[in-house]
Structure formats: structure tokens, C-alpha cells
A and B are shown apart, each in its own frame.
Chain A
């Protein structure tokens, strides 16, 4: 088997040249250097002209993707906090409305109460005034009547006695006293 392959190998390479076959494991220095140069050209060219740009692009891409994810997360957090704010505001507004309603109810009751009290006071005042006026008028009437009754009584007594009692100072004093007495009595009963 080995012989066959070796023979085939010889046949392949014999086609190339007539001189004696060098060993396949020979390493001619010039081929070695050419191999090294070939690699260095590829390495230098790729490392300088091709790979930095793609490396940068890949980094930018992963940045963009990671940035996008980050942005989305940020937006979500923002939306969440905004919703939270709105909810809080809504709750606060609701609470405020309730407070206002309660306050309004309280106010209404107070206003009604106040109005009622005012009305009551006004009514009482009116009543009191009317009563006072009534009393004053009655007093006046009583006083006037008493005086008239006194004068009538003196007049009547004078006619009965047959002489004018008005001219005599003593009688006149008595009559005056009587009338005053009457007036006092009237005032006393009135009080």
C-alpha cells in the first residue's frame, strides 16, 4: 500500500522535473520565507485595512442594540412612573372633591342654620317692637283715659256740688292729687 502511494507520488512529481526528487519533508529556506511573507502580507493587510472597520461596525451594532434595549427599558420606566403620577393625581383630585363636597354640605347646613337664626332674631325683634309699641300706645291711651276720667269726674262732682271746683285752689289740689293717684294706679296695674 505504502509502495503504491509512494509510486503514485513519484509519478505525480516526476512530471514536474527530471532531477532527483527532493524529500517532501525538505524545507527550503526560500519557500519558508515566502510562506512567512505571504502570511505577513495577509495579516498586515487585513489588520490594517479590513478588520478594524468591521470590528468597529460590530461594536456599533451591539451598542445600537443594547442602546435600543436600554432606551426601551427607560421609556417603560418613564411610562410607569407617569402612570403612577397620574394615578396619584387622580386619587388626590378625588379626595379633594370629596372634601369639597363635605365642606359644601357643612357650609350649606351652617348657612341654613344662620339664615334661620337670623330670621328668628328678626321675627323676635319685630315682635318685640310691635309689643313695645302696643304697650306704649296702651299706656298712652290709659294715661289719656285716666286724665279724661279724672277731669270728667271732677266736672261731674262740680256739677253735683253746684259750684265750680276748678277755681278753688284746695279743691283743685285735691282733684289734681286724685287724678295723679289714678294715673299712678293705672301705671301700677299696667306695670
Chain B
């Protein structure tokens, strides 16, 4: 899909280093670099980078973790925090010149993230509520006529354990992929339509304008999708921590 920059093999598996891989690890480095710098010697009265970093931290802690999970969600703040900023920056790479690829529009990346969330909240639920309590509460919701379980249990199983992680990954991927395609389409159109004719110039200018507008719109979507992914992660963890009824 992308030009391979390097290739290496670890325990019989080939790893292809492409532009996406490089951009992804630039995101990793930027996030680690910024937050370790910002929080290296935190002061009681914040200023500069600490102020910005703190805004991000409080956004995750108060706006997502405490809002969705509650006070006992505080120990999941680093988890949510990492997801939010890694995804946001990965998304943001879609409109950064020269990078211009939202890493999360490569399906494997959202799948990887959703998988991590999945293998976190399912064992967590079993650990906190017990196997029977967790799966029982999920598959046999109380307060329902017994006969309904014939219909309800397969549906709950499907929706909670199969569709949920799939949509978690696909939602992020599809949004970023679609956005990327739209911007790319209009950018390419602006490039290919240009010709010394009225139609060419108008068409090219219109395409360029739309591409610029879409870039602004994408900036919003990128934030929103990172937020939604993190929010859903918090919802899943909350469901695993607290029995639903």
C-alpha cells in the first residue's frame, strides 16, 4: 500500500517499515516528549507546557474518566489518556503537511487499539464481578421475562462481545479513511483539473477551496473521533467495573 522504507524479520515475522509506521512512531515520540517535558517538574502553580498538559490531563480525568467511570476510574486515567492523545495525534497527521496520512486510517491500527481495549475490559469484568456475575449480567439482563432470553441472550452476546469491538475499531477507521479520501480526492482534482481554460481554472479553484474547507472540517472530526474512541473505552471499562444493575 505504501512504499517500503525498510524491512526486518523478528522470530520469523516480517515487519515492513513504511511511511505509516514512521508517522506513527513520530506521534509516539511527540506525545512522550511533550508530556514528559511538560510534567517533568510539576509546580503547584502551573505555567507554560505544564498548563497545557494539565488541561489535557484534566480533560481526560474529569471530562471522561470521572464522568463515565467515577472516582474509582482514576487508575484508568493513564490508559484513557494514552489512547486519546495517541489517536488524536495519529488522526491529526492526516492534515499535517508532508505526513498527510491519518495513521488511524490504516485499518490495522484501530484494530490494534480496539483489541487492547477488548482484552482489557473483558478480563477486568471477570476479575471484578466474577465469571458468572459478569457474563450473567451481560447475557441475561435481569428484569426480563424468562422467555425473552431466547431472543435476548444471542443478541446481547453478539452486540457486546463481537459487534462492540468491531464497531469500536471500524468507527475510527472509517471516519479517518473517509476524511482522508475526501481531502485526497479534492486535492487531486484541484491538481488534475488545472488547465488554461475557464472550466479548468474554476474547477481547480473550486476543488482546492473544498479541499481546504474539508481540512478544517477534518480537524474537528479528528478530535471528535479520538474523543469518541476514548469515551467508549471508558464506558466499556465502567461496565466491567460496575455491575450494570
- Please name the 4 residue pairs, one residue from A and one from B, whose CB atoms are nearest each other, closest first: A35-B112, A31-B108, A57-B42, A47-B78
Binary contact track B72-92/A, C-beta < 8 Å → 1, others 0: 001001110111011000000
* B24 pairs with A46, CB closer than 8 A: no
User: In residues 29-68 of chain A, which contact B (Cβ within 8 Å)?
Assistant: 29-36, 38-39, 41-43, 45-47, 49-51, 53-58, 60-61, 64
The verdict on A158 contacting chain B, using a C-beta distance below 8 Å, is no
Q: Is the interface of B mostly helix, strand, loop or mixed?
A: helix
* B83 pairs with A61, CB closer than 8 A: no
The verdict on A24 contacting chain B, using a C-beta distance below 8 Å, is yes
Comparing B14-22, B128-136, B149-157, B194-202, the segment that makes contact with chain A is B14-22
* B112 pairs with A39, CB closer than 8 A: yes
Residues of A within 8 A of B14 (CB): 30
Residues of A within 8 A of B112 (CB): 31-36, 38-39
Residues of B within 8 A of A28 (CB): 16, 108
* B108 pairs with A53, CB closer than 8 A: no
Comparing B27-35, B138-146, B214-222, B235-243, the segment that makes contact with chain A is B27-35
The verdict on B43 contacting chain A, using a C-beta distance below 8 Å, is yes
B86 to chain A, nearest CB (A): 5
Binary contact track B112-127/A, C-beta < 8 Å → 1, others 0: 1101100000000000
Residues of B within 8 A of A46 (CB): 31-32, 35-36, 78, 81-82
Residues of B within 8 A of A55 (CB): 57, 74, 77
The verdict on B5 contacting chain A, using a C-beta distance below 8 Å, is no
29 pairs of residues in contact across A and B, judged by CB atoms under 8 Å: A12-B181, A12-B188, A13-B1, A16-B1, A16-B3, A17-B1, A17-B2, A25-B107, A26-B107, A26-B108, A27-B111, A29-B13, A30-B15, A31-B21, A34-B15, A34-B112, A35-B110, A36-B116, A41-B28, A45-B32, A46-B31, A46-B32, A46-B36, A49-B32, A51-B39, A54-B42, A54-B53, A55-B74, A55-B77
Q: With contacts A24-B177, A53-B39 known, is A61 near B44, CB below 8 A?
A: yes
Q: With contacts A8-B188, A12-B184 known, is A39 near B83, CB below 8 A?
A: yes
- With both beta carbons as reference points, the residue of chain A lying nearest to B79 in the complex is identified as A43
List residues of A whose CB falls within 8 A of some B CB: 4-5, 8-9, 11-13, 16-17, 21-22, 24-36, 38-39, 41-43, 45-47, 49-51, 53-58, 60-61, 64
Residues of B within 8 A of A60 (CB): 44
Q: Please give the number of chain B residues whose Cβ is less than 8 angstroms from any Cβ of chain A in the complex.
A: 53
The verdict on B232 contacting chain A, using a C-beta distance below 8 Å, is no
Binary contact track B183-194/A, C-beta < 8 Å → 1, others 0: 011001000000
- With both beta carbons as reference points, the residue of chain A lying nearest to B189 in the complex is identified as A8
Q: State in angstroms the CA–CA spacing of A156 and B131 once bound together.
A: 163
* B82 pairs with A39, CB closer than 8 A: yes
* B107 pairs with A47, CB closer than 8 A: no
Q: State in angstroms the CA–CA spacing of A51 and B121 once bound together.
A: 21
Residues of B within 8 A of A51 (CB): 35, 39, 57, 77-78, 81
